[in-house]
């Protein structure tokens, strides 16, 4: 089963992805984690993207799409993908459709974690203490939220009319959001 978790930064996509990985024996596909890994390993991509990421800006579609190609075409992960943080632009959504068609796959569920700005700020400030991420200070959070509104929220229109699109209340506690997802998945 392939699933997209969609929503603003701090919506809880990563947390829910980790639950689903356990329940379904699937793989989490976090472009944020993949990009942070490139920075940690100081690769050519890592050197190119570090300033973008620390400033809360999006990494170029071309880079993210090329990382994604490897994942979608990896036969050991076929039909077991939990997308967390991808797609984030219309270009990426179109690219994902193409990659899935070419690899004979589909998206089974799209979950939109709908969260308000106050909850996002609270959650990211907590995460800042726990994970010490370079892009979790208040200014950067607000920038990332603005980028989400401008660039990512149009992706909602791309998905929201699809039959397998489900809108969830992402302001609830982690367990309650998880229950909503399991109810839709009948797990």
Is residue 31 involved in binding ligand AMP (CB under 6 A)? yes
Residue among 6, 27, 83, 86 that touches ligand AMP (CB under 6 A): 86
Out of 19, 52, 158, 165, the residue judged to bind ligand AMP by CB under 6 A: 52
Which of 5, 6, 7, 9 forms a contact with ligand AMP (CB under 6 A)?
A: 9
Q: Does 88 bind ligand AMP (CB under 6 A)?
A: yes
Dist. CA 185–CA 60, nearest whole Å: 33
Question: Contacts with ligand AMP in 100-129 (CB under 6 A)?
Answer: none
For the stretch 139-170, what's the b/e string if a residue is b when 16 or more beta carbons lie within 10 angstroms of its beta carbon?
ebbebbbebbeebbeebbebbeeeeebbebeb
Which of residues 5, 64, 81, 82 is near ligand AMP by CB under 6 A?
64
Nearest-CB residue to ligand AMP? 32
Nearer to ligand AMP, 12 or 26 (CB): 12
Q: Which is nearer to ligand AMP, 136 or 179 (CB)?
A: 136
| Chain contacts with ligand AMP (rule: CB under 6 A) | 9, 31-32, 35, 52-53, 56-59, 64, 85-86, 88, 92, 135, 144
């Amino acid at each position: 089963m392939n699933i997209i978790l969609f929503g603003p930064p701090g919506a809880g996509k990563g947390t829910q992805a980790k639950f689903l990985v356990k329940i379904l024996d699937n793989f989490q596909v976090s472009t944020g984690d993949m990009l942070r890994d490139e920075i940690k390993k100081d690769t050519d991509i890592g050197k190119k993207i570090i300033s973008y990421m620390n400033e809360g800006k999006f990494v170029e579609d071309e880079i993210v799409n090329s990382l994604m190609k490897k994942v979608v075409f990896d036969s050991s992960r076929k039909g077991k993908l939990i997308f967390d943080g991808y797609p984030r632009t219309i270009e990426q959504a179109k690219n994902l459709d193409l990659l899935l068609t070419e690899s004979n796959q589909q998206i089974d569920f799209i979950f939109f974690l709908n969260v308000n700005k106050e909850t996002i700020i609270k959650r990211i400030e907590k995460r800042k203490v726990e994970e010490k991420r370079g892009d979790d200070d208040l200014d950067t959070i607000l920038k990332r939220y603005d980028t989400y509104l401008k660039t990512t929220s149009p992706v909602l229109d791309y998905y929201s009319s699809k039959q397998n699109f489900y809108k969830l209340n992402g302001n609830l506690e982690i367990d309650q959001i998880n229950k909503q997802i399991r109810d839709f998945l009948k797990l």
